[in-house]
Structure 1
């Protein structure tokens, strides 16, 4: 799974001299929370709804409504943008993109190839990729197996699945601290009772079936 398969292409951008209020209106009208900022076609930063709201005067401010509007009309995104935003190439994997978001505590990543902004990927896009990987958008049976963490364990299970003529829609593994591994299988089947009996008969523990 790569970022290029899930990113939003041709993202909406704003010039660096865009007034703060105008940027906020664009976000609200387009229902987005971040906007890349460009200067003469070159990416110079990113601005989020959170940053724009923090520069708005507090309701407790002693400024009059006219003074506040005057100040906001003069303020542009150049004054509050995040410079040199974290970005990834379109060839980046989804898991690496998720790790970058988690480590830097950000909600999106700009996608840049050869110095050119080609897209943007958000947390929602990453979630969609994971849902698709696990096959949750398709009908089928979901199994979670507990097995010894050893070479060939997954291959043995997949061979049993193949013997029953079932197609695997998704696979995920989670290593445990006790030398065991949990394996999630999403199968293209309405019923997997025969497979369950076969797995149990071979000593493969099924801890979840839905």
Structure 2
């Protein structure tokens, strides 16, 4: 998955001379999370919704007319922006993007291509990606397995069990750190399964019978999702 396919493309940009009050208006009216600051075609900084909210709250707490007037009529983006912000390339993978955002502790990254800002990727886009992968918009049923040692053929056996139980499998996500290996040299990870089926509990029961303990199961019925515990645990 490439960043260019998930980013907010053609982002609104502002110059460093823009008034902070104007930047706040643009972000609020357009429901944005960040504005790249660009001067003469070059990325100079980043203004985020959090930046502006903190600044606005500070001004309101001072209850000073002079401070408020300065904020509205004189304070410019260059005075509060994050200078030389971390960026990500449009051709980078979403996996790399997630790692970089986590390592740097940032929620927004301008997206670059040949030194030009072509997008912004934020926690919102990452949330949308997670929702897409988990099938949130499709109302899929699902099962999460307890940590499984992922040796050769294990995922294939899990898939066979799910499909033999009558489900149409949509996605399989092993979740866990790659470095968490067992004494056999294979990682142990939880396995998230998403599928279309009328009886998700049948799938959970089949997995339990095949030796794959179920942590939780979610079954969609009549357009609604209901949570269930491990097979046999009831609602």
CA distance in 1, matches of 2:212, 2:33: 47
CA distance in 2, matches of 1:16, 1:162: 57
- Select the residue among 209, 215, 224 that pairs with 1:201: 209
CA distance in 2, matches of 1:21, 1:136: 37
Indicate the larger mover: 173-182 or 200-209.
173-182
Structure 2 unaligned residues grouped into runs of 5+? 183-187, 219-235
- Displacement of 1:99: 2.2
- TM-score (norm: length of structure 1): 0.84
> Quick check: 2:166–2:197 contact (8 Å CA) kept in 1?
no
Structure 1 unaligned residues grouped into runs of 5+? none
> Quick check: 1:140–1:190 contact (8 Å CA) kept in 2?
no
The alignment yields a C-alpha RMSD, in angstroms, of 2.6
- TM-score (norm: length of structure 2): 0.76
Could you say what secondary structure the match of 2:175 adopts?
strand
Paired residues for 1:51-200 under 5 Å: 51-52=51-52, 53-54=54-55, 57=59, 59-60=61-62, 65-66=65-66, 68-70=68-70, 72-146=72-146, 147-164=148-165, 166-175=167-176, 179=182, 180-200=188-208
- Displacement of 1:129: 0.3
Q: Deviations over 1:67-116 (max 9, x none)?
A: 64146523321222222111111222223222222222222111101111
**Matched residue pairs, number?**
208
> Quick check: 2:59–2:68 contact (8 Å CA) kept in 1?
yes
Q: Deviations over 1:139-162 (max 9, x none)?
A: 232112233332221111112334
